């Protein structure tokens, strides 16, 4: 069974990807420092799959941890999720973000070269597009100046990967540019578990509905959109996880020194208010929300053109926005 190292594998997207890799006949080896996740996720993964995944607690900026994994396992591929991701914090502490997000990729590439590991799927982001001039966004859409140090780390990491592959190190890389991951595993055993105040819309919605938070603020309802609120492409996390499986299957067929990028979204844009209404419909909960002022730096609208990933990787999203809201709410209700 092919062993795949998942950095940040106990996190939101990483944990769901571990499940989908296992379902596809691959064995996840998880590395996580629990800076934005919890140890109980490992128990939940075992409940879902019936398998206790091999786990290493540590920072992927720590070469000794990587070396210990390399000595114990014949790793055949890597998915690199581990990164700090809070936009606001990145603005206040840019060096923390550059050191962690960029530094860990460089160290990981050195580790892969030493171990002879050929395949890497990198967790990138639609933030590299900024506010695109033309919609929907294709992979050929020019990248814009980043709105935050976090977004800039994704651009820099993509550039590092491009330059590294050009140097002919014998590896194959795909960067997946995610849009907005939402939802939870249909089993309700794993989902988005923000530590502290959520930075993303949907966990804030579910926490308001659960009475954990008093209200939700919609930042601006006077934009040039259908109902005045910002538009995003919300992709169910299980669909996103499946894209990583498809990416690995595709990489296996490519020559060495290969690099490509793929958007991962639904191909549809939904406003913030549409997300709220979808949640209210599937949950039966009336959400307490207010309209607030615009938030500086917010992209007004963006959504993906998914033609390339559907055509080249044979990937198709299976879940709707209402499915995502249902699964998020069921996950929230099960939290203790």
Active site includes 164?
no
Catalytic residue among 150, 164, 223, 259: 150
Gyration radius of the chain over CA positions: 19
1, two tokens: 């069974």
In sequence order, the β-bridge partners of residue 122 are 80, 175
DSSP state at residue 137? B
SS3 9: coil
Q: 249 vs 9, 45, 193, 202, CA distance in Å? A: 19, 23, 29, 31
Cβ atoms of 69 and 63 within 8 Å: the answer is no
Q: 125 vs 155, 252, 270, 335, CA distance in Å? A: 9, 23, 18, 28
DSSP state at residue 8? T
Q: What's the CA gap between 37 and 270, in Å, rounded?
A: 28
Cβ atoms of 188 and 334 within 8 Å: the answer is yes
Q: What's the CA gap between 144 and 171, in Å, rounded?
A: 27
Cβ atoms of 153 and 124 within 8 Å: the answer is no
Supply the residues annotated as catalytic: 150
């Amino acid at each position: 069974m092919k062993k795949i190292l998942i950095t940040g594998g106990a996190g939101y997207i990483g944990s769901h990807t571990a499940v989908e890799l296992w379902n596809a006949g691959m064995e996840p080896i998880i590395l996580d420092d629990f800076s934005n996740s919890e140890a109980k996720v490992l128990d939940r993964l075992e409940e879902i799959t019936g398998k206790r995944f091999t786990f290493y607690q540590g920072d992927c900026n720590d070469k000794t941890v990587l070396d210990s994994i390399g000595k114990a396992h014949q790793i055949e591929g890597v998915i690199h999720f581990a990164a700090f991701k809070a936009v606001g914090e990145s603005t206040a502490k840019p060096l923390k973000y550059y050191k962690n997000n960029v530094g860990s990729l460089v160290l990981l590439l050195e580790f892969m070269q030493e171990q002879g590991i050929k395949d890497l799927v990198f967790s990138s982001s639609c933030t590299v597009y900024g506010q695109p001039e033309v919609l929907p966004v294709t992979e050929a859409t020019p990248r814009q100046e980043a709105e935050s140090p976090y977004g800039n780390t994704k651009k820099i990491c993509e550039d590092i990967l491009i330059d590294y592959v050009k140097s002919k190190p014998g590896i194959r890389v795909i960067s997946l540019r995610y849009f907005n991951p939402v939802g939870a595993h249909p089993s309700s055993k794993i989902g988005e578990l923000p530590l502290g105040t959520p930075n993303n819309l949907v966990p804030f919605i579910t926490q308001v509905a659960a009475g954990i938070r008093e209200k939700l603020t919609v930042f601006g309802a006077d934009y040039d959109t259908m109902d005045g609120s910002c538009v995003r492409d919300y992709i169910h996390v299980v669909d996103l996880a499946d894209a990583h499986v498809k990416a690995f299957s595709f990489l296996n067929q490519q020559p060495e020194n290969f690099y490509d990028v793929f958007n991962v979204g639904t191909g549809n844009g939904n406003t913030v208010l549409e997300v709220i209404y979808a949640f209210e419909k599937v949950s039966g909960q009336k959400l307490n929300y207010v309209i607030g002022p615009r938030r500086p730096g917010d992209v007004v609208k963006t959504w993906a053109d998914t033609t390339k990933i559907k055509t080249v990787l044979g990937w198709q999203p299976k879940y709707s926005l209402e499915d995502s809201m249902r699964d998020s709410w069921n996950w929230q209700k099960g939290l203790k």
